[in-house]
Amino acid sequence: MIRKISKAHLFIFISIIISSACSKGVYVIEKKFADSPIPSAPDYSKEEQWASLPGKADAADSVPLKSNLKNTQDQAKADVFFVFPTTFTEEPQNQYLWNADIGDKNINYKTQTTTILNQASIFNGSCRIYAPYYRQAHLYSFYAKDENDGNSALNLAYKDVQAAFEYYLKHYNNGRPIVIASHSQGSYHAMRLLRDYFDGKDLQKQLVVAYLAGRAIKPDEFRFIHPTEKPDEVAVWASWNTYARKFFPDNYEKYFRHSLSTNPLLWNSSSDFAAKELNHGGVGRHFTFVPNLVDAQNHEGVLWINKPYIPGRFLIRVRRWHIADMNFFYMNIRENVQLRIESFEKIK
């Protein structure tokens, strides 16, 4: 008898398709960065140049299907500055090769329906959400034959993130507590933000926590902002990279062996196993709530999980779960940021 698998679990198989597509290779940009046109810089005084703003209707206002969650940004006591991951991954469809055009409707739609929906919305129960569109670097920037090309694209992207953050500080923050959240390329830029604006500086006093998912980070990356070891600490950071149990990525020795991994079910860097019962719920690509979705255990710089606990799990062959770094732990992050904000309020 064939067992029917519900829509709530289809994201696993979509992830398999995505993983298979990734195995075909990253699109290669042949032209040098210096010889390629650069999109116009964003103007963050314009609402449309933000992927998410309080009071603006966007995907970050959503809550998962089959959940009792609510968007309560209008009551939030803290802000989250969210830097989304790479959504400029395919062959460029215009003259802009290395960095995305802020006005590219196709890329912006992809950004809204993936990362803003599945990741930024995590914070709408306790934070006002600020997420800028930026001239994100193409995925190839991380694989470029000439590192100067990739670094140039990433530096341009960071200039936008920096400009957006400064605009946010000047026009929106008003001294409120700040959460930094990001994934993948977004975490690359968020790390720079922390170094440039928070680490050992006055603004660190407003930092609740930084969730820097999908990026290998060394324990001593920052001088004064330390990795979290307790779920209610403030002015700390957390980071993890999710893989199937017993799997090591190709670049493990270079990037991950000496990095720190936070278990988002325990909120520490121990190697203790966290059973699926500690997972209060994740979301799939159809944005449907799935309780007790995965377990988790840190192992020498990476986060290992067993196959997600869904019908048909024996079919799963995915080993790289980068795309689901935050999806898998949606509720635990959502609850944790609320706890840390409460802690911040008590000690401020």
Q: Mean per-residue pLDDT for 75-84?
A: 98
pLDDT at 31: 96
Taken in order 229, 231, 233, 239, the sign of the CA dihedral is positive
- Is 119 within 8 Å of 326 (Cβ atoms)? yes
Q: Mean per-residue pLDDT for 100-127?
A: 98
pLDDT at 24: 54
Q: Mean per-residue pLDDT for 96-123?
A: 98
Q: Mean per-residue pLDDT for 287-307?
A: 97
Q: Which range marks the domain in which residue 81 is found?
A: 7-22+32-347
pLDDT at 311: 87
Indicate whether 159 belongs to any domain.
yes
Q: Range with the lowest mean pLDDT among 117-126, 171-180, 195-204, 311-320?
A: 311-320
Task: Output DSSP code: residue 331.
Answer: H
Could you give the angle at which helices 185-193 and 147-168 cross, rounded to 10 degrees? Answer: 60
End-to-end alpha-carbon separation of the chain, Å? 60
Please tell me which residue, 81 or 23, carries the higher pLDDT value: 81
pLDDT at 156: 99
Indicate whether 71 belongs to any domain.
yes
Q: Mean per-residue pLDDT for 65-87?
A: 98
Whether 120 shows a pLDDT value over 50: the answer reads: yes
Torsion (CA) 161, 165, 166, 172 in degrees, nearest 10: 150
Whether 184 shows a pLDDT value over 80: the answer reads: yes
Task: Output DSSP code: residue 45.
Answer: T
Which residues make beta-bridge pairs with 181? 82, 211
pLDDT at 22: 41
* C-alpha–C-alpha distance, residues 235 and 238, integer Å: 10
* C-alpha–C-alpha distance, residues 74 and 76, integer Å: 6
Q: Mean per-residue pLDDT for 160-180?
A: 99
pLDDT at 9: 46
Indicate whether 2 belongs to any domain.
no
Buried b (16+ CB within 10 A) or exposed e, 17-49: ebbeeeeeeeeebeeebeebebbeebebeeeeb
Q: Mean per-residue pLDDT for 183-196?
A: 99
- Is 267 within 8 Å of 335 (Cβ atoms)? no
- Is 307 within 8 Å of 324 (Cβ atoms)? no
Indicate whether 328 belongs to any domain.
yes
Q: Mean per-residue pLDDT for 257-261?
A: 96
**pTM (two decimals):** 0.93
Question: Quick one: how far is CA 211 from the chain centroid?
Answer: 8
Which of 324, 279, 283 is CA-nearest to residue 67? 283
What is the band of 25 on the pLDDT scale with cuts at 50, 70, 90?
confident
What is the count of structural domains for the chain? Answer: 1
Q: Mean per-residue pLDDT for 77-84?
A: 99
Q: Mean per-residue pLDDT for 118-135?
A: 99
Indicate whether 27 belongs to any domain.
no
Three-state SS string over 265-315 comes to: CCCECCCCCECHHHCCCEECCCCEEECCCCCEEEECCEEEECCCCCCCHHH
What is the band of 1 on the pLDDT scale with cuts at 50, 70, 90?
very low
pLDDT at 348: 77
The three-class DSSP label of residue 76 is: coil
**What is the share, in percent, of the chain residues with pLDDT greater than 90?**
89
Please tell me which residue, 211 or 8, carries the higher pLDDT value: 211
Task: Output DSSP code: residue 156.
Answer: H
Q: What does each C-alpha distance from 86 to 41, 113, 152, 168, 249 come to in angstroms? A: 18, 13, 16, 22, 19
What is the band of 175 on the pLDDT scale with cuts at 50, 70, 90?
very high
Phi, psi of 333 (to 5 degrees): -70, -45
Phi, psi of 92 (to 5 degrees): -55, 140
pLDDT at 329: 99
Task: Output DSSP code: residue 179.
Answer: E
Buried b (16+ CB within 10 A) or exposed e, 204-213: bebbbbbbbb
Question: What tokens were used for 346?
Answer: 């008590």
Indicate whether 1 belongs to any domain.
no
Whether 11 shows a pLDDT value over 70: the answer reads: no
